[in-house]
Amino acid sequence: MRFYRRLQPFHAISFDLDDTLYSNQPIMLATDQKMVQYFKDTVTAQVLGNHSHSFDFRFWWPFRQQALLLAPELRHDVGLLRQKSYFLGALSLGLVDAEAAVFADKALGYFVEQRSNFTLPQHTHDFLRYLKTKMPLVAITNGNVDTDKIGIAQYFTHHFHASIENKLKPDRDMFDKTCQALQISPEQLLHVGDCGKNDVFGAINAGCQTAWLNQYQVGKRLKVLPTLALDNVEQLSKIVL
């Protein structure tokens, strides 16, 4: 643990989820492979007929870009953006609107199911359960993992995920809403996350304190110094009174 700023008293902790409480990269790589297989085995055989497409990211990426051109606000909601990409891709393969909508809904449902198909170690549950007895915990994420399915929803008093209504980090929107929901001032919130841009810069810009945890070495580099840096998330227990 290393301190870069004076740690002020805090009354709540917010957590980023992906690559903070667990390593998300292997989960997403496995999910991407499952999605390719899903489209190949289920969709192409039963709905779309025979096509030469591999249905990996190279197929869907142009439709993602098209979706963003049509509705730039979708950048704040990775789930809706993915759904719209699947919809536009299905249209390109000859489905009519109603068929493409069903196609997109089912594909997104399968994606969320697979990207949430993992469990956290018992020591993580024990740690979050302990922290919950000390102060409110909040989840603030740009992603769409199902916290109920992975078994951590019960530890958080609030869960904010980026959407059309909640602007994507590093925008201060979800940090502000967290403080409003808990009725605390921004400096009374300690935000824990892996990304130097989304988590550290975003939280500091909102007036919050920050704990940077880059355990999995995937988050963007620091733009500004955090309040402190952690080697592992359990080190928080040393500063929670």
Domains and CATH numbers, the chain: 2-22+120-238 (3.40.50.1000), 26-115 (1.20.120.1600)
Residue among 37, 56, 40 nearest 48 (CA):
40
pLDDT given at position 188: 98
pLDDT given at position 69: 97
pLDDT given at position 47: 57
Helix segments in the chain, DSSP class H: 25-38, 57-70, 78-92, 97-115, 122-134, 173-182, 202-205
Q: Which residues contact 228 (CB under 8 A, 6 or more apart)?
A: 1, 2, 3, 4, 5, 7, 210, 211, 212, 239
Mean pLDDT for the chain overall: 92
Angle, vertex CA 15, rays to CA 125 and CA 171, nearest 5: 160
Query: From CA 152, how far away is CA 122, in angstroms rounded?
Result: 11
pLDDT given at position 49: 57
- Tens-place pLDDT, residues 48-81: 555 667 788 899 999 999 999 999 999 999 999 9
Residues of the chain with pLDDT under 70: 42-52, 219-220
CB atoms within 10 A of CB 1: 12
Tell me the two tokens of residue 107: 């594909």
The pTM of the full predicted model, rounded to 2 decimals, is 0.91
